[in-house]
Structure 1
Amino acid sequence: MQDSFYHYLLTQRSDDQADLVSIFAHNAALDHAFPKQSQNYHEITEYLELTAGYLPSMDVFDDAWQRYLDNC
């Protein structure tokens, strides 16, 4: 069984503040309402579009999602 997107995203945190996915991962880790068990692109997209003010662009999510798929 594949890990949730959130679990994968946590592996992308780093001290490199130049990487937007790393910044997204850091902020998602602080977001207690993030859909932590989801593997569903549409569910996570809807959540981020409606509630995640910390994401500067959905392009960052799309990049992180592609990395997640490549890692599976």
Structure 2
Amino acid sequence: MRRPFYHYLMTHRDPYKKDALTLFANAAEKDGSFPKQSESYEEISRYLEMSGDYLESMTVFDDAFRLYKETND
């Protein structure tokens, strides 16, 4: 069974690191509305475009989702 993107993203949390992926993961953890059960690029992308003001660039999400697909397929 595939895990949702959110579960993958949470593996990148770290209170000390400051790279873009870690900052994204740390912020997404605090976002109570994040689509936590989704595996859909389109659904998560739409959500982040409308509500993800903590994301410095959608490129960060694109890169994270590519890594997620590589480890989940």
Range of TM-score over shorter length:
over 0.9
Q: Percent identity?
A: 48
Q: For residues 21-41 of structure 1, what are the alpha-carbon distances to aligned partners after superposition, in whole Å with 9 as ceiling and x for unaligned? A: 110000000000000000000
Residue 54 (structure 2) aligns with: 54
Residue 17 (structure 2) aligns with: 16
Instruction: Report the TM-score when normalising by structure 1.
Output: 0.95
Cα offset for 1:70? 1.1
Q: Which runs of 5+ in 2 are unaligned?
A: none
Instruction: Report the TM-score when normalising by structure 2.
Output: 0.94
Runs of 4+ in 1 over 4 A off after TM superposition: none
